A and B are shown apart, each in its own frame.
Chain A
Amino acid sequence: MANEGLDKAVSGDYALGFEIDIETETVPPGLDESTIKFISKKKDEPEWMLELRLKALKKWETMTEPHWGHLDYEPIDYQSISYFSAPKEGIDSLDEVDPKILEAYNKLGISLEEQKQLAGVKVAVDAVVDSVSVKTTYSDELKKHGVIFCSISDAIRDYPELIKKYMFSVVPMADNYFAALNSAVFTDGTFVYIPKGTRCPMELSTYFRINALNTGQFERTLIVADEGSYVSYNEGCSAPTRDDHQLHAAVVELVILKDAEIKYSTIQNWYPGDETGKGGIYNFVTKRAICQGENAKVSWTQVETGSAITWKYPSCILKGDNSVGEFYSVAVTTLAQQADTGTKMIHLGKNTSSTIISKGISAMKGQNTYRGLVKIGANATGSRNYSECDSLLIGSNCGAHTFPYLESKDTQGQIEHEATTSKISDEQLFYLRQRGINEEDAVSMIVHGFCKQVFSQLPMEYAVEAKALLELTLEGSVG
């Protein structure tokens, strides 16, 4: 079968590439102490936070950009990026969101007006545009349950004890180059605290939108699930279609105490650039969870369809005995996209278990790499891991690569690893076409089948969104 046909079927247009026409306040490009001071002042932060930021900047300045990923890109000029951009605030009240932003979020399918959401499917949203959180819904209702759901900037001012205790506790400020950068310049993001024994009464979510030209987005998210609590949190994102690359370097820290559980889902749809590699987001993200107590559980589910470059490894430190870590991932690279993604499962507690299901889909000139570490420590007796990494190739100009690292200090540790690479076979396509299903639908059917195990982990409404997004990414039909 001719490759051109397939290419046409998988060069989906980016539907969310519009720009929100709003006035912004943007600092000139460049990064030094004064930038950090400016950000901290803008956020009305306490002195201790500024000191931490400056410390992170010092560390970052001594570090070098990592290039061990299976990624090919020009070095990033960190002095050409603007580190703070915010929509100008409404005149009347701080709570008032620019109607253009509300409209833009509606266009993205997210309602920031609580009364407009249907009962029964309540989802609380923290809406972040460039460097600031513009609106957080249902905060008051959640507060009645003791749940804190606010922007990280508010949390630094309002809950300093929790922030001091947990921020940098999972991802130390100088953990890696991009984490150090983020620790210095992070602008907004979400803070969640679920108190003991509480099941969060609704889905929580954050939607990140890069809008301003030439700026980077550096959000920081911290979720703490206290003993016996449960929360399901979802994040989404998008950005305008631009010719230049934009940097997104986020940090996410999850702390799960005894008997608690966090389910964290991501639908990543940053602008991917074009088929020649022009434009697109550089997505360098550090995500890590620690299961502090016994029977703690964390589950990462990610659907990565966007970004020119993706570099992220949502990880689980399984410290508590019997704790459980899961990683479910679908990563799609089409056009000229490159992804180097996977996870780290660090087993420290006894009888800990982890599951890794990774599905990589490559089309056109996309390059997709799975990189994962499973480490079983000397005290982690009775621990086990199951890993399954499958790659699907569409066409013949793309690539799939798998780098699994296994380390077991416990001789009883049980690690199972399965990996497959398959091409959407002409035979499969033909079979479906012989039954009257056209080629585009046939490709999409095979791809959905391939991703099923991961999609089934998403909350229902997000699974529907993920399927639609995958279709859009791979099918060339603009929604």
Chain B
Amino acid sequence: MSTVMKIENLQAKIGDKDILKGLNLELEPGKVHAIMGPNGAGKSTLSKALVGHYDVEVTGGDITYKGKSIRDMEAEERALEGIFLSFQHPVEIPGVNNAYFLRTALNAKRKHEGKEELNAAEFLRLMRDHLEMLGMKSDMISRSLNEGFSGGEKKRNEILQMLILEPEVIILDEIDSGLDIDALRAVSEGINKMKDGKRSFLVITHYSRILDYIEPDYIHVLKEGKIIKTAGPELVGELEEHGYDSIEEEK
């Protein structure tokens, strides 16, 4: 089994509170890993720790990505290396044009990879198809970044960024929260389009609903800061029926 990202004995705290308490997880290339768990189990902390969020202090263990430790890597470097987080609550940035932002981000990545930067016209062409697929109105790219976007529009915009930036490890933090059925379909279609047998997905969710659309290869149960069980997609049904309390830690 090959691994793209390996999380070993990860311990992390937010403020004074220990949240992750020796978490182990390996992401396989081309696979969809779902992380499920009750509120407060550490799901969001895990996603933040992986992208170097300022809230989270890693106190032990390691995260390796493509064989290199990224524990002390700056957030922007992790991003340039191909780690993408779809935020649970994307922040609004007034006055910053959505298309301009996206092109800057894409060109930062292209520059990092030694590729030519795209000009505005080339970029717009690239974006047009994605917009249509996501059911996004074309005026959304000329609006300010996330400003005044509805919940569904914000999530679609996250997926648009994912499609444009073509990351290798994609972390989706509660991507389905607050989405109506149309938005959920559009978002899932975007995600499924990114499945190419190489990219890995880490889908963090409370609910199994999204997993009807994005078929996971593995289900990991996160409880009290640790992964306590890993199984195939059949575990979803079991969790639905009996809840997280029924899951015992695998020794």
- B-binding residues in A (CB < 8 A): 1, 425-428, 430-439, 441, 445-446, 448-453
Q: How far is the CA of A1 from the CA of B53 in the complex (A)?
A: 10
A/B interface sample: 24 pairs, CB < 8 A:
A425-B91, A426-B54, A428-B91, A430-B53, A431-B90, A432-B93, A434-B51, A434-B75, A434-B76, A434-B79, A434-B84, A434-B87, A435-B108, A436-B79, A436-B108, A436-B165, A437-B76, A437-B105, A438-B76, A445-B96, A446-B93, A449-B93, A449-B97, A451-B95
Residues of B within 8 A of A426 (CB): 54
CB within 8 Å for A452 and B79 given contacts A431-B90, A436-B109 = no
Mask, B69-93, CB within 8 Å of A = 1, is 0000011100110001101001101
Expressed in whole angstroms, the minimum distance between the Cβ of A342 and any Cβ of chain B is 21
Residues of A within 8 A of B90 (CB): 431
Expressed in whole angstroms, the minimum distance between the Cβ of A305 and any Cβ of chain B is 18
Residues of A within 8 A of B3 (CB): none
The list of the 6 closest CB pairs from A to B, nearest first, reads A449-B95, A449-B96, A435-B105, A436-B79, A452-B95, A433-B75
Q: How far is the CA of A433 from the CA of B74 in the complex (A)?
A: 9
| Complex: chain B residue closest to A442, CB-CB | B76
Q: Are A445 and B53 interface neighbours, CB within 8 A? A: no
A interface SS class:
helix
Expressed in whole angstroms, the minimum distance between the Cβ of B81 and any Cβ of chain A is 9
| Complex: chain B residue closest to A441, CB-CB | B104
| Complex: chain A residue closest to B80, CB-CB | A436
Residues of B within 8 A of A431 (CB): 87, 90-91, 93
Cβ < 8 Å to A, chain B residues 109-142: 109, 112
Task: Let me know if B161 is at the binding interface, CB within 8 A.
Answer: yes
Residues of B within 8 A of A436 (CB): 76, 79-80, 105, 108-109, 112, 165
Task: Let me know if B213 is at the binding interface, CB within 8 A.
Answer: no
Q: How far is the CA of A280 from the CA of B91 in the complex (A)?
A: 38
Q: Are A445 and B76 interface neighbours, CB within 8 A? A: no
Q: How far is the CA of A11 from the CA of B85 in the complex (A)?
A: 31
Task: Let me know if B178 is at the binding interface, CB within 8 A.
Answer: no
Residues of A within 8 A of B96 (CB): 445-446, 448-449
Q: How far is the CA of A439 from the CA of B77 in the complex (A)?
A: 11
By size class, the interface of chain B is: 20 to 34
Expressed in whole angstroms, the minimum distance between the Cβ of B247 and any Cβ of chain A is 31
Expressed in whole angstroms, the minimum distance between the Cβ of A414 and any Cβ of chain B is 25
Q: Are A435 and B165 interface neighbours, CB within 8 A? A: yes
Contact of A433 among B79, B93, B109 (CB under 8 A): B79
Q: Are B144 and A434 interface neighbours, CB within 8 A? A: no
Q: How far is the CA of A435 from the CA of B164 in the complex (A)?
A: 11
Q: Are A435 and B79 interface neighbours, CB within 8 A? A: yes
| Complex: chain B residue closest to A425, CB-CB | B91
**Contacts A428-B91, A449-B145 given; 14 further ones with Cβ under 8 A?**
A430-B54, A433-B76, A433-B79, A434-B79, A435-B101, A435-B161, A435-B165, A438-B76, A441-B108, A445-B104, A449-B93, A449-B144, A452-B95, A453-B95
| Complex: chain A residue closest to B112, CB-CB | A436
Task: Let me know if B232 is at the binding interface, CB within 8 A.
Answer: no
Expressed in whole angstroms, the minimum distance between the Cβ of B158 and any Cβ of chain A is 10
Expressed in whole angstroms, the minimum distance between the Cβ of B115 and any Cβ of chain A is 13
Q: How far is the CA of A464 from the CA of B100 in the complex (A)?
A: 16
Q: Are A1 and B93 interface neighbours, CB within 8 A? A: no
Task: Let me know if B148 is at the binding interface, CB within 8 A.
Answer: no
Of the listed residues A428, A437, A438, the one surrounded by the most CB atoms of chain B closer than 10 A to its CB is A437
Q: Are A428 and B93 interface neighbours, CB within 8 A? A: yes
Residues of B within 8 A of A433 (CB): 74-76, 79
Q: How far is the CA of A437 from the CA of B112 in the complex (A)?
A: 11
Q: Are B91 and A438 interface neighbours, CB within 8 A? A: no
Q: Are B91 and A427 interface neighbours, CB within 8 A? A: yes
Residues of B within 8 A of A1 (CB): 54
Q: How far is the CA of A427 from the CA of B87 in the complex (A)?
A: 11
Residues of B within 8 A of A441 (CB): 104, 108
Residues of A within 8 A of B51 (CB): 434
| Complex: chain A residue closest to B102, CB-CB | A435
Q: How far is the CA of A271 from the CA of B30 in the complex (A)?
A: 57
Task: Let me know if B94 is at the binding interface, CB within 8 A.
Answer: yes
Of the listed residues B79, B85, B95, the one surrounded by the most CB atoms of chain A closer than 10 A to its CB is B95
Q: How far is the CA of A435 from the CA of B95 in the complex (A)?
A: 18
| Complex: chain A residue closest to B89, CB-CB | A427
Residues of A within 8 A of B161 (CB): 435
| Complex: chain A residue closest to B171, CB-CB | A434
Expressed in whole angstroms, the minimum distance between the Cβ of B142 and any Cβ of chain A is 13
Q: How far is the CA of A451 from the CA of B95 in the complex (A)?
A: 8
Q: How far is the CA of A475 from the CA of B132 in the complex (A)?
A: 37
Q: How far is the CA of A434 from the CA of B52 in the complex (A)?
A: 9
Expressed in whole angstroms, the minimum distance between the Cβ of A392 and any Cβ of chain B is 10
